[in-house]
Structure 1
Amino acid sequence: MLFVTNREPKGSIRTRVNRKFAFDLKKNAPSNSIYCCERVGPDDYIELGSKLWLSRLKQSRSKQLLFFIHGFSNIPEPDIFPRALALQAQFDAVDPELVQVIPVIWPCDDDPGIVKDYWDDQKSADMSAFSFARALQFFMRWRDEEPEEFPCIKRINVLAHSMGNRVLRQTLAAWDKYDLADGVPLIFRNTFLVAADIVNESLEPEFSGRLISQSSRNVSVYYASDDLALRASKVSNLKNKVASRRLGHSGPEDMDKTQSNVYAIDCDNFNNRYDRPKGHSYFIDDGEGNPGVVFQHLVQSLQTGRVFVGVSRDRRHIL
């Protein structure tokens, strides 16, 4: 499995193609560098370097790419990679050539508990924006330099879970501020915001999350009012004088203030049944290994390029 990370490795921080890559989990500060790697097996990683890594993605048999940005308090093993592999297995069962999942790994603390170290992870998410914005700029330059007769035509999608939504939002804001002349390009086909741990006004015009809408053809917001992890998140943010509901709790605050490509998908009917007792990680399976309804919904979006909301005219849908 290919992945990209701004977690520092053990040993030298300089890129060395084909070296063994080992995460230094004692370091939780984001690196200024990006490491393009491959997971060969549990705790077995190789650094490929950006050129070979991008070439491997271009040559992949999958028609689409899905960058998976994990949430807070997640470490590579046993959290991020097993979840990404489960997601890949579900996609392969639908169509082995549909999509390739690429984890985007940013530094989290690995201490137990929902609230503990939450605030440190927020800081890490914000600081990760600069290195991932550089990665986006590098990718755009690589794409532009590809020979015209052999362009990379794969569709690019993003699935951000929990605080991974903060990483995505801040990355686009940093990219827009430091590298782009007039707004972000339309780079993503589908952006899936699952249990998003950002304020529920984030996608409105005066907030930096508007760049998520501007960079995407479709933005699907999956939320559940009884997500216990986000309740803990709200408590932590109130302590730090941030008083707002989370996007993953209520969906967008006012749909009329979001762009017309934003869709709100209510997952309250099953989230706790799929992920007991927190009801926070409900986007892969039903808890018994079967494809969950969120997964089936986002597969439909990947296959069609459109978000199913039934006959709803306000872009809201209940799963």
Structure 2
Amino acid sequence: MLFVTNRIPVEGYQTDIGREVTFDLQNTTPSKHLFFCKRSPQSKKYFEEGSVSFFSQLKALSDKTQVLLYIHGFNNTDEADIFPNALALEEQINQCADEELVKVVPIIWPCDDDSMLAFMDDYWDDQRAADASGKMFYRLFGKFVAWQKELVKQGDECYKRINVLAHSMGNRVLMNTLDEWAKAQGDVPQLFRNAFLAAADIENEALEKGEKGQHIVDSARNVVIYYANDDLAMPASKVANLKNKTLSRRLGMTGAENLHKLPKKVYQVDCDNFNNTIDKPKGHTYFLHRGNKKSPVIQHMTNAIKTARVSPAEREHELPYP
């Protein structure tokens, strides 16, 4: 599985294609460099690929296969959470589609892996890392666009469709990444076919024009907000944000503050019917099947990826649980 990270390798910053890299999970300082890597499914070891090989491998995928970038949430680490979730996401969507519809590529930013007893400190460490990571992952998209332009010059265009799923605080990473792009380039192109915002730990007015998250809307053909009022991580996030004198409802708990202020391509989906059934007791990671409990979000995302349309077409709708 290919992945990109701004974690600092224990082996140092110097790029060496093919080298094995390891990461100290207690080091949550974001690197000033990006590392384009591959995880071996057998050994679970990581090897540096370099950006050219990384993008070339994505281009070589079947024409029917789309890329799904996965930006993980708070307090997630590589082997405990990120790769198991990414692999499950890829398998479940492809099974639902009955074809190799997606290749999931994790975007890994530095999170702490301490216990929930250290929640407040961890939350703020991770939030600072999410803010700093935006400046680095902007370079990821910059490198991709530059690579595409070079292919055009060579008459070998890449038309690979790209989608993004941001979960929890990963939405803050996505928001900061695209905000950095807008600061540097003046506007944000349509990078994604679909931007899926699951249990988003950002303010519920963040997507409105003039707000930092408006560039998420600019970046995608469709923007889909998955939220649940009884997502227990959201009130905890709200309490944690009091440390910064911020008291704001979270997008992942209420949906958009004013959907009518957002373009028609923004949809919000109420997941109250099943979030705590799928992910008991927190109700936060409800976009994946868990055992024999099937998340309706998988089918919903699969349809949007296949067709580039959100179904049902109503901008606000509720997903039933079978």
- TM-score tier by shorter-chain length is over 0.9
1:13 correspondence with 2:28? no
The verdict on how the C-alpha distance between 1:266 and 1:225 changes in structure 2, with shifts beyond 3 A counting, is same
Deviation at 1:60, TM superposition (A): 1.5
The equivalent of 1:263 in structure 2 is 267
Residue type matched to 1:202 in 2?
A: A
Provide structure 1 residue ranges, at least 5 long, that are not aligned to the other structure.
none
Provide structure 2 residue ranges, at least 5 long, that are not aligned to the other structure.
none
Indicate which of 101, 120, 125 corresponds to 2:125: 120
CA distance in 1, matches of 2:182, 2:21: 31
Residue type matched to 1:69 in 2?
A: I
Kept in 2, the 8 Å contact 1:7–1:105? The answer is yes
Q: After TM superposition, what 4+ stretches of structure 1 lie above 6 angstroms from structure 2?
A: none
The equivalent of 1:301 in structure 2 is 304
Residue type matched to 1:142 in 2?
A: W
The CA RMSD over aligned residues, in Å, is 1.3
1:184 correspondence with 2:188? yes
How many residue pairs get aligned? The number is 313
1:33 correspondence with 2:37? no
Residue type matched to 1:121 in 2?
A: D
1:220 correspondence with 2:221? no
Kept in 1, the 8 Å contact 2:93–2:299? The answer is no
Deviation at 1:290, TM superposition (A): 5.3
1:272 correspondence with 2:273? no
The equivalent of 1:143 in structure 2 is 148
Kept in 2, the 8 Å contact 1:219–1:262? The answer is yes
1:160 correspondence with 2:162? no
Indicate which of 94, 97, 104 corresponds to 2:107: 104
SS of residue in 2 equivalent to 1:190: strand
SS of residue in 2 equivalent to 1:176: helix
Kept in 1, the 8 Å contact 2:130–2:170? The answer is yes
Residue type matched to 1:193 in 2?
A: L
- TM-score of the superposed pair, with normalisation by structure 2: 0.94
Indicate which of 203, 207, 210 corresponds to 2:207: 203
CA distance in 2, matches of 1:26, 1:288: 30
Deviation at 1:289, TM superposition (A): 4.4
Greater mean deviation of Cα atoms: 41-50 or 123-132: 41-50
Deviation at 1:231, TM superposition (A): 1.1
Deviation at 1:167, TM superposition (A): 0.0
CA distance in 1, matches of 2:280, 2:65: 34
Greater mean deviation of Cα atoms: 127-136 or 36-45: 36-45
Kept in 1, the 8 Å contact 2:38–2:47? The answer is yes
Residue type matched to 1:281 in 2?
A: T
1:58 correspondence with 2:63? no
1:47-82 C-alpha deviation (Å, 9 max, x unpaired):
111101110010012521000000000110111001
CA distance in 1, matches of 2:243, 2:12: 38
1:155-194 C-alpha deviation (Å, 9 max, x unpaired):
100000000000000000011112x1x3101111000000
CA distance in 1, matches of 2:16, 2:98: 35
The equivalent of 1:68 in structure 2 is 70
Kept in 2, the 8 Å contact 1:309–1:316? The answer is no
Kept in 2, the 8 Å contact 1:115–1:232? The answer is no
The equivalent of 1:44 in structure 2 is 45
CA distance in 1, matches of 2:49, 2:166: 24
1:23 correspondence with 2:23? yes
SS of residue in 2 equivalent to 1:146: helix
Deviation at 1:240, TM superposition (A): 2.1
